Amino acid sequence: MRLRRALAVVFFMLPILSIASSAAAGGMYFTDRGVRPMSRGYAFVAGVDDAQALWYNPAGLAFAGDQIFLDLSLTLLESDFTRVDSGGNVLPTVSLDAPPIPIPMLAVTNDFGLEDWGFGLGLYAPNLIPLRWPKSVNVGGVDQPAPQRYSLYNLDGSAAVHIAAGAAWRPIPELSIGADVQFVVGSLTTETALSSCDRVLCTFPENPEWDAQSQMNLPLFSVFATFGATYVAGPVRVGASFQLPHNLGGRATMKVRLPEAALFDGAYVEGDQADVDLWMPWILRLGIEVRPIDRLRVEFDTVIEGWGVQKALTVQPVDIVMRNVTAIGDYRVGKIEVPRNMNNVLSLRLGGALAVDPDQRVTVRTGINFETGGFSDEMLTPLTLDSGKVILGVGVGWEIVDGFFIDASYGHVFVFDREVTTSQVPQTNAIRPGPVEGAPGTDGPVYVGNGTYAMHANQFGIGMRWNLDGGPRARAAREAEQEDEREGEQPTEDEPVPQAEPEPEPTEETEGASEPEREATPEGEPERDPETESESGSEETPWYYRRGRRQRQ
Read off the amino acid at residue 290.
Answer: V
Q: For 450, which DSSP code? A: -
Residue 160: HSE in the Cβ half-sphere, 13 Å Cα cutoff: 25
Contact partners, residue 302, CB within 8 Å, separation at least 6 = 285, 286, 287, 346, 347, 348, 349
Q: Where are the domains of the chain?
A: 2-486
**Averaged pLDDT of the chain:** 81
Q: Give dist(CA 20, CA 278) in Å, integer.
A: 7
Q: Give dist(CA 20, CA 314) in Å, integer.
A: 10
The predicted pLDDT at position 547 comes to 37
Three-class secondary structure of residue 419 per DSSP: strand
Reported as a single tens digit per residue, the pLDDT across 405-446 is 999 999 999 999 999 999 988 887 644 444 444 444 445 678
Q: What is the mean pLDDT of residues 434-462?
A: 77
The predicted pLDDT at position 137 comes to 94
Q: Are 298 and 352 in contact (CB under 8 A)?
A: yes
CATH number of 2-486: 2.40.160.60
Q: Give dist(CA 382, CA 365) in Å, integer.
A: 34
Q: Where are the beta strands (DSSP E) in 129-210?
A: 136-139, 142-145, 159-172, 175-195
Reported as a single tens digit per residue, the pLDDT across 266-275 is 777 788 888 8
Q: Give dist(CA 458, CA 413) in Å, integer.
A: 6
Reported as a single tens digit per residue, the pLDDT across 158-183 is 889 999 999 999 999 999 999 999 99
Reported as a single tens digit per residue, the pLDDT across 73-125 is 999 999 999 999 888 899 999 999 988 888 999 999 999 999 899 999 999 99
Q: Give dist(CA 369, CA 513) in Å, integer.
A: 97
